[in-house]
Amino acid sequence: MEIKKIKETCLYIADLERSRQFYNGKLGLPVIGEVKDRHIFFRAGESVLLCFVPEASKKGGTLPPHFGSGQLHLAFEVSREDYDDWKSKVQEAGIVVEQEYDWGRGFLSFYFRDPDQHLLEVVMEGMWEKK
């Protein structure tokens, strides 16, 4: 048995509209679900980015409670051909690229922050693939 992939990734945010403007408005991720004052969900390729207001999600209800805080990290994978275009898109949206890193073997990634100071990364496809 083997896990295929992480299907969902969750970030805890302070403001749903601000996150919508960032992830949908600036990065272009489609909104696929929303509950007022609780969460907003975005499609990220074959994965889903869940953004929860922690005070609402820690109350539980239909699903078990969960919450968190701090500057979390996630990476978006893009094709090698699209990497420079994504870097330009982020910069043209007024988002500061904090660092670009050369991982060797021809793989690059760059880092930037969302409005809640989560560290986001765009990484070239294939970097973590099985040999």
| pLDDT tens, the chain, 131 aa long | 988 889 999 999 999 999 999 999 999 999 999 999 999 999 999 999 999 999 999 998 888 999 999 999 999 999 999 999 999 999 999 999 999 999 999 999 999 999 999 999 999 999 888 76
Q: Which residues contact 55 (CB under 8 A, 6 or more apart)?
A: 67
pLDDT of residue 4: 87
Q: Residue 60: what pLDDT?
A: 80
How much is the pLDDT for 66?
Answer: 93
Which of 37-62 are b and which e, b meaning 16 or more Cβ less than 10 Å from the residue's Cβ?
A: eebbbbebeeebbbbbbbebbeeeee
pLDDT, residue 122, reads: 98
Q: Count the residues in the chain.
A: 131
**In terms of Cα–Cα distance, which of 80, 28, 79 is closest to 49?**
28
Model confidence, pTM: 0.94
| Amino acid sitting at position 18 | R
Tokens of 23: 């992830």
Q: Is 2 helix (H, G, I), strand (E, B) or coil?
A: coil
What is the predicted pLDDT for the residue at 131? 66
The number of beta carbons lying within 10 Å of the beta carbon of residue 105 is 8
Count of C-beta atoms within a 10 Å radius of residue 19: 25
The two counts, helices (H) then strands (E), for the chain are: 3, 8
